[in-house]
């Protein structure tokens, strides 16, 4: 079972730079402790130099990642501010009937509001629900693929 870790990279930055990406390692390090049945795919882990890719390589990676979002089991999106790439990834997951969990304060943003099955306003809210088992219970109610014998301790 696979999680696609979506989230803001460039956002609305005009320069060839990225927003802080620490959220990715926080999620990659913590999720397996509570959802061990999932393998996490983090695009940045495999494409850290993506801002310097030539056009064809960048386009191929972009389109491949969008395709992946329709094939995974669960997409977790980190959206502290609007992110066109993340919105496309959320759309691809949602339109292929995959579960979308979003961490975002943008509760009125239509991509967040209408493409998410579960929304957490802050990263700390997500981690609390992950650690206390509430997220697992919500995923069970949404028929997420989970190992029913595994329980949070």
Residue 149's pLDDT band, with cuts at 50, 70 and 90, is low
Domain residue limits at 124: 2-141
Higher pLDDT, 45 or 147: 45
Position 150 in a domain: no
**pLDDT confidence of residue 153:** 39
Q: Would you state the pLDDT for residue 69?
A: 94
pLDDT score at 62: 81
Do 127 and 135 touch, CB atoms closer than 8 A? no
Q: 69: domain CATH number? A: 3.40.50.450
pLDDT of residue 60: 82
The C-alpha atoms of residue 111 and residue 93 are separated, in whole angstroms, by 12
Question: How many domains does one find in the chain?
Answer: 1
| Model pLDDT, residue 18 | 59
Percent of the chain with pLDDT strictly greater than 90: 56
């Amino acid at each position: 079972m696979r999680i696609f870790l979506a989230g803001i990279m460039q956002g609305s930055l005009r320069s060839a730079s990225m927003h802080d990406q620490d959220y990715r390692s926080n999620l990659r390090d913590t999720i397996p402790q509570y959802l061990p049945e999932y393998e996490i795919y983090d695009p940045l882990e495999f494409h850290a130099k993506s801002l310097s890719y030539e056009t064809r390589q960048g386009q191929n990676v972009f389109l491949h990642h969008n395709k992946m979002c329709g094939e995974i089991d669960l997409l977790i999106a980190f959206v502290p501010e609007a992110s066109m790439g993340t919105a496309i990834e959320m759309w691809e997951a949602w339109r292929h009937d995959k579960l979308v969990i979003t961490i975002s304060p943008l509760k009125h943003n239509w991509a967040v509001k209408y493409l998410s099955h579960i929304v957490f306003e802050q990263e700390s809210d997500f981690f609390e629900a992950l650690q206390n088992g509430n997220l697992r219970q919500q995923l069970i109610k949404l028929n997420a693929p989970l190992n029913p014998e595994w329980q949070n301790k």
